[in-house]
Amino acid sequence: MSGANPGEFGPPQPAKPPQQPPAQPPVQPAQPPPVTYGQPPQSAPGYGYPSPAYPSPAYPPAQPVGYPMTPGYVMPMQPSNGMGTTGLVLGIIGVVCSVTFFLWFLGVILGVLAIIFGAIGRGKANRGEATNKGAATAGLVCGIVATVILPLLGFLVFASFMSVI
Protein backbone atom coordinates (compact mmCIF):
# COMPACT_ATOMS: atom_id res chain seq x y z
CA MET A 1 0.00 0.00 0.00
CA SER A 2 2.81 2.36 -0.51
CA GLY A 3 1.29 4.19 -3.50
CA ALA A 4 -2.23 4.52 -2.16
CA ASN A 5 -3.61 6.82 0.41
CA PRO A 6 -5.87 4.84 2.75
CA GLY A 7 -8.88 6.95 3.46
CA GLU A 8 -11.82 6.40 5.70
CA PHE A 9 -14.37 8.04 3.45
CA GLY A 10 -13.65 6.60 0.05
CA PRO A 11 -11.51 4.49 -2.12
CA PRO A 12 -7.73 4.96 -1.98
CA GLN A 13 -6.28 7.79 -4.12
CA PRO A 14 -3.23 7.24 -6.32
CA ALA A 15 -0.03 8.99 -5.23
CA LYS A 16 0.90 12.22 -7.06
CA PRO A 17 4.20 12.21 -8.86
CA PRO A 18 6.76 14.74 -7.50
CA GLN A 19 6.74 18.11 -9.27
CA GLN A 20 9.80 18.96 -11.35
CA PRO A 21 10.91 22.49 -12.10
CA PRO A 22 10.36 23.64 -15.67
CA ALA A 23 13.22 22.83 -17.96
CA GLN A 24 15.64 25.71 -18.55
CA PRO A 25 17.94 26.02 -21.52
CA PRO A 26 21.62 25.32 -20.76
CA VAL A 27 23.64 28.39 -19.72
CA GLN A 28 26.11 29.52 -22.33
CA PRO A 29 29.28 31.23 -21.01
CA ALA A 30 29.47 34.90 -21.89
CA GLN A 31 31.98 35.80 -24.56
CA PRO A 32 34.66 38.27 -23.41
CA PRO A 33 34.71 41.61 -25.17
CA PRO A 34 37.44 42.06 -27.74
CA VAL A 35 40.72 43.32 -26.34
CA THR A 36 41.77 46.72 -27.62
CA TYR A 37 45.34 47.83 -27.35
CA GLY A 38 46.07 50.58 -24.86
CA GLN A 39 43.33 49.48 -22.46
CA PRO A 40 43.39 46.74 -19.84
CA PRO A 41 41.46 43.56 -20.70
CA GLN A 42 37.91 43.40 -19.34
CA SER A 43 37.87 39.71 -18.46
CA ALA A 44 39.81 37.37 -16.25
CA PRO A 45 42.26 35.35 -18.33
CA GLY A 46 41.09 31.88 -19.31
CA TYR A 47 37.56 31.98 -17.90
CA GLY A 48 35.54 34.03 -20.34
CA TYR A 49 33.68 35.85 -17.56
CA PRO A 50 34.23 39.47 -16.71
CA SER A 51 36.43 40.06 -13.69
CA PRO A 52 34.43 41.10 -10.64
CA ALA A 53 34.68 44.72 -9.60
CA TYR A 54 36.18 44.85 -6.16
CA PRO A 55 34.22 47.29 -4.03
CA SER A 56 36.09 49.82 -2.00
CA PRO A 57 36.09 49.17 1.74
CA ALA A 58 33.14 50.66 3.57
CA TYR A 59 35.26 52.66 5.99
CA PRO A 60 34.29 56.21 6.88
CA PRO A 61 36.64 58.92 5.63
CA ALA A 62 39.55 59.76 7.90
CA GLN A 63 38.87 62.56 10.33
CA PRO A 64 41.53 65.29 10.57
CA VAL A 65 43.55 65.34 13.76
CA GLY A 66 43.70 68.61 15.67
CA TYR A 67 42.19 71.86 14.54
CA PRO A 68 41.10 72.22 10.92
CA MET A 69 43.39 74.41 8.90
CA THR A 70 42.06 77.06 6.59
CA PRO A 71 43.62 77.45 3.15
CA GLY A 72 46.63 79.71 3.23
CA TYR A 73 47.17 79.33 6.95
CA VAL A 74 50.80 79.65 7.97
CA MET A 75 51.92 78.64 11.43
CA PRO A 76 53.48 81.64 13.20
CA MET A 77 57.12 81.55 14.14
CA GLN A 78 57.97 80.74 17.72
CA PRO A 79 59.26 83.77 19.61
CA SER A 80 63.01 83.83 20.03
CA ASN A 81 64.13 84.31 23.60
CA GLY A 82 67.88 84.27 23.09
CA MET A 83 68.79 87.95 23.42
CA GLY A 84 67.06 88.56 26.75
CA THR A 85 68.35 85.32 28.23
CA THR A 86 71.88 86.07 27.06
CA GLY A 87 71.68 89.54 28.58
CA LEU A 88 70.53 88.07 31.90
CA VAL A 89 73.31 85.47 32.01
CA LEU A 90 76.02 87.98 31.07
CA GLY A 91 74.65 90.46 33.60
CA ILE A 92 74.75 87.93 36.46
CA ILE A 93 78.28 86.82 35.59
CA GLY A 94 79.30 90.48 35.22
CA VAL A 95 77.98 91.31 38.69
CA VAL A 96 79.83 88.37 40.21
CA CYS A 97 83.06 89.35 38.44
CA SER A 98 82.69 93.02 39.43
CA VAL A 99 82.33 92.09 43.10
CA THR A 100 85.65 90.26 43.06
CA PHE A 101 88.69 92.46 43.27
CA PHE A 102 90.81 90.76 40.62
CA LEU A 103 88.11 90.27 37.93
CA TRP A 104 86.48 93.71 38.00
CA PHE A 105 87.74 94.53 34.48
CA LEU A 106 86.10 91.35 33.09
CA GLY A 107 82.94 92.27 35.01
CA VAL A 108 82.81 95.65 33.29
CA ILE A 109 83.17 94.07 29.83
CA LEU A 110 80.46 91.48 30.58
CA GLY A 111 78.26 94.25 31.99
CA VAL A 112 78.52 96.24 28.76
CA LEU A 113 77.60 93.14 26.76
CA ALA A 114 74.68 92.48 29.14
CA ILE A 115 73.42 96.04 28.56
CA ILE A 116 73.57 95.55 24.78
CA PHE A 117 71.86 92.14 24.77
CA GLY A 118 69.30 93.23 27.39
CA ALA A 119 68.34 96.30 25.34
CA ILE A 120 67.98 94.25 22.15
CA GLY A 121 65.92 91.65 24.05
CA ARG A 122 63.60 94.30 25.47
CA GLY A 123 63.11 95.77 22.00
CA LYS A 124 62.15 92.34 20.65
CA ALA A 125 59.79 91.78 23.56
CA ASN A 126 58.11 95.15 22.98
CA ARG A 127 57.59 94.30 19.29
CA GLY A 128 56.11 90.90 20.19
CA GLU A 129 58.99 88.87 18.75
CA ALA A 130 60.05 87.55 22.17
CA THR A 131 58.23 86.56 25.32
CA ASN A 132 60.89 87.17 27.97
CA LYS A 133 60.64 90.86 28.68
CA GLY A 134 61.35 90.25 32.38
CA ALA A 135 64.58 88.36 31.70
CA ALA A 136 65.74 91.05 29.26
CA THR A 137 65.00 93.78 31.82
CA ALA A 138 66.84 91.88 34.54
CA GLY A 139 69.83 91.44 32.21
CA LEU A 140 69.81 95.16 31.45
CA VAL A 141 69.73 96.05 35.16
CA CYS A 142 72.47 93.54 36.04
CA GLY A 143 74.59 94.92 33.20
CA ILE A 144 74.19 98.47 34.51
CA VAL A 145 75.05 97.34 38.04
CA ALA A 146 78.12 95.42 36.81
CA THR A 147 79.32 98.25 34.57
CA VAL A 148 78.59 101.40 36.54
CA ILE A 149 77.60 100.92 40.16
CA LEU A 150 80.01 98.25 41.38
CA PRO A 151 83.12 99.77 39.76
CA LEU A 152 82.05 103.18 41.11
CA LEU A 153 81.65 101.73 44.61
CA GLY A 154 84.99 99.97 44.25
CA PHE A 155 86.64 103.21 43.22
CA LEU A 156 85.10 105.05 46.20
CA VAL A 157 86.26 102.33 48.63
CA PHE A 158 89.76 102.44 47.12
CA ALA A 159 89.83 106.27 47.35
CA SER A 160 88.74 106.23 51.00
CA PHE A 161 91.50 103.75 51.85
CA MET A 162 94.05 105.88 50.08
CA SER A 163 92.93 109.03 51.93
CA VAL A 164 93.39 107.29 55.28
CA ILE A 165 96.94 106.37 54.55
Q: Residue-wise pLDDT tens for the chain (165 aa)?
A: 555 555 566 666 666 666 766 667 666 667 766 656 665 555 555 555 555 566 656 666 666 666 665 666 666 767 678 999 999 999 999 999 988 878 888 999 999 999 999 999 999 999 988 888 999 999 999 999 999 888 888 888 888 988 887
Helix, strand, or coil here: 4? strand
Alpha helix stretches (DSSP H) within the chain: 82-99, 104-127, 133-144, 150-164
CB 33 within 8 Å of CB 51: no
**CB neighbour list of residue 88: distance below 8 Å, 6 or more residues apart:** 114, 118, 135, 136, 138, 139, 142
CA 33 – CA 29 distance, rounded (Å)? 12
3-state secondary structure of 144: helix
Distance CA 148, CA 97 (A): 13
Is the distance from CB of 104 to CB of 97 less than 8 angstroms? yes
Please give the Cα distance from 152 to 146 (Å, whole number): 10
